[in-house]
Amino acid sequence: MEIAEIVAVTGVPGLFKVAARRNDGLIVTSLVDDKTQFLSGRTHMFSTLDNITIFTTDEPVILKEVLASIKKNEGKHPVPDVKDEAGLKAWLEAALPNYDKEKVHVSDMKKLAKWYNILNAKNLIEELTTEKAAEDNSEGKEESADKEKKEVKKDTGKKEPKAKAVKSDKSSKGSSKPAPVKKITTPRKAS
């Protein structure tokens, strides 16, 4: 599973794995209770976890890196209760020391802690944060690009039938001029 396959949905708690895409929404499977449902794009907004960043005093940090840092520090700094605001702040500061204290609110920290607990319960943190997944994905893209190039070469090797010349009944002097363009005007209202 890749981090781009997991979405957060506005108005619905938890995280979801994208099962299928439709023009008017997504069919998703909950990572909490494994129920599959359709969520309309008209009433919900979808955010893939690979597009989420956390503000720092420098450049924003992608969620994948933050999850890896939290996992690394889990022994020293376990995930606190979401009702403990001071604990949440200390927990995030241990994982991401330079997070922007003005832009990252306690509600964001609660959401991050809940997401981390959901992903950790499914043993997805290591799978989502390893570079191996990214390398495998890039190799797969390169292989498919090579296949497409080979298919294009095969297609270009075939000769297409030439268009037949059509004889016109008019003489050659009239056929070289383009047809006259009519100017369309709209009537004005009387004042």
The whole-number pLDDT of residue 37 equals 95
- Token pair 């960043």 in the structure block, residue: 53
CB atoms within 10 A of CB 67: 23
- Assess if CATH 1.20.272.10 describes domain 52-129: no
The whole-number pLDDT of residue 159 equals 47
Q: How many residues does the chain have?
A: 191
Confidence of residue 125 (pLDDT cuts 50, 70, 90): confident
* 22, HSE (Cβ side, Cα atoms, 13 Å): 12
Q: Which two tokens stand for residue 62?
A: 């992608």
Burial class (CB in 10 A: 0-12, 13-18, 19+), 70: buried
CA-closest candidate to residue 62, choices 136, 139, 128: 128
Helices assigned H by DSSP within 48-121: 63-72, 85-95, 106-121
Q: In whole angstroms, how far apart are CA 120 and each of 62, 142, 158?
A: 18, 31, 54
Report the alpha-carbon distance of residue 141 to residue 124 in Å, rounded.
23
- Assess if CATH 2.30.30 describes domain 3-49: yes
Q: What percent of the chain has pLDDT over 70?
A: 68
Tell whether the model's pLDDT for residue 191 goes beyond 60. no
CA-closest candidate to residue 112, choices 158, 69, 168: 69
Confidence of residue 126 (pLDDT cuts 50, 70, 90): confident
pTM above 0.85, yes or no: no
CA-closest candidate to residue 56, choices 118, 100, 120, 12: 100
Q: What is the mean pLDDT of residues 164-172?
A: 46
Confidence of residue 156 (pLDDT cuts 50, 70, 90): very low
Q: Which DSSP symbol is given to 80?
A: P
Q: Using the Cα atoms of residue 76, residue 122, residue 105 and residue 71 in order, give the sign of their dihedral.
A: positive
What are the extents of the domains in the chain? Answer: 3-49, 52-129
3-class SS at 160? coil
pLDDT digits (tens, 9 = 90+) for 15-42: 999 999 999 999 999 999 999 999 999 9
Give the rounded distance of the alpha carbon of 46 from its chain centre.
9
